[in-house]
A and B are shown apart, each in its own frame.
Chain A
Amino acid sequence: MAKLDGKRILACCANGAGSSLMMENAIKKVMTRNGIKLAELRHCAVSEGKSAARNYDVVLFARPFAKTFDGIQGTTLIPLKNVMSDKEIEAALKEAGLLD
């Protein structure tokens, strides 16, 4: 079973309406390509994401928002350079040991 099966992923951006949706699309592509079934994939604004982060296994966001998530534990935080890049997301998940 793939490591991310049944996990919960959150994508955050400033408003929860632009780049977080792009991330969500890119994450979907990565999951489909790897045959992974997530329990949940959600997007929201960073303000909400900060308190919601602990309820998710992985939280992704664009690098300018990294400071917002400083010090949050118990979840894997993944800052991205290009939020649309499924390749970057795939590589980052591999690096975090969440994808084979």
Chain B
Amino acid sequence: MGSVLEKIVEQKHYSFIDGEGVTWQEAVRLSALPLVADGTVSEEYYKQIVACIEKYGPYVVFDHNVAMPHTTENAEGAFRTGVGLMICDKMIDFGEDEDGEKKEANLFFTLSAANADEHMDNIAQLSNIFMNDDLLDALAAARTPEEILKAAADFPCDEE
């Protein structure tokens, strides 16, 4: 099994947008489109993600402007396990968290979980990616799938 970034490129689960004036709700919808395109998730799947963020706040936005929109395992409309990556030129505004800290993201790793083991493997790899600031900077600057792969090769994550 290839790394999660290789799979994203192989399966064409990536997208690049400008992001100017895009709301976070719209950004979540856009980030799921590559997963919709090959039937990994339904067109309506993103609505559950939006509802969850509306309920609990922007807890899916982590340090370093990384968002991980997701729902539950075996959510309705999650047909296969997969990760979409959307890279934005501009930051998408998620409002403020419970401490009044501004939350914004330009990297969206959007998850669909249908198979527990595969999903766990994706999450473990994403944890390492999210702690790898050099890789995140390189991904935020990537504008082609080749540049995503180059970022992954240039800044490998520690295997643990």
Contact mask for chain A residues 12-39; partner B; CB cutoff 8 A; 1 contact, 0 none: 0111111101100110010000000000
In angstroms, Cα B52 to Cα A19, docked, is 13
For the complex, is B38 an interface residue (Cβ under 8 Å from A)?
A: no
Contact B72 A84 (CB under 8 A): no
Contact B70 A18 (CB under 8 A): yes
Tell me how many residues of B have a C-beta within 8 Å of chain A.
28
**9-residue interface stretch from A2-10, A49-57, A59-67, A69-77:** A59-67
Contact A15 B52 (CB under 8 A): yes
For the complex, is A99 an interface residue (Cβ under 8 Å from B)?
A: no
Residues of B within 8 A of A83 (CB): 62
Contact A22 B123 (CB under 8 A): yes
Using CB atoms, name the residue of chain A closest to B55.
A14
Using CB atoms, name the residue of chain A closest to B48.
A15
**9-residue interface stretch from B12-20, B124-132, B141-149:** B124-132
Using CB atoms, name the residue of chain A closest to B124.
A25
Residues of B within 8 A of A16 (CB): 72-73
Contact mask for chain B residues 74-104; partner A; CB cutoff 8 A; 1 contact, 0 none: 0100000000000000000000011100000
Residues of B within 8 A of A14 (CB): 52, 55-56, 59
Interface residues of B (CB under 8 A from A): 52, 55-57, 59-60, 62-63, 68, 70-73, 75, 97-99, 111, 113, 119-120, 123-124, 126-127, 130-131, 160
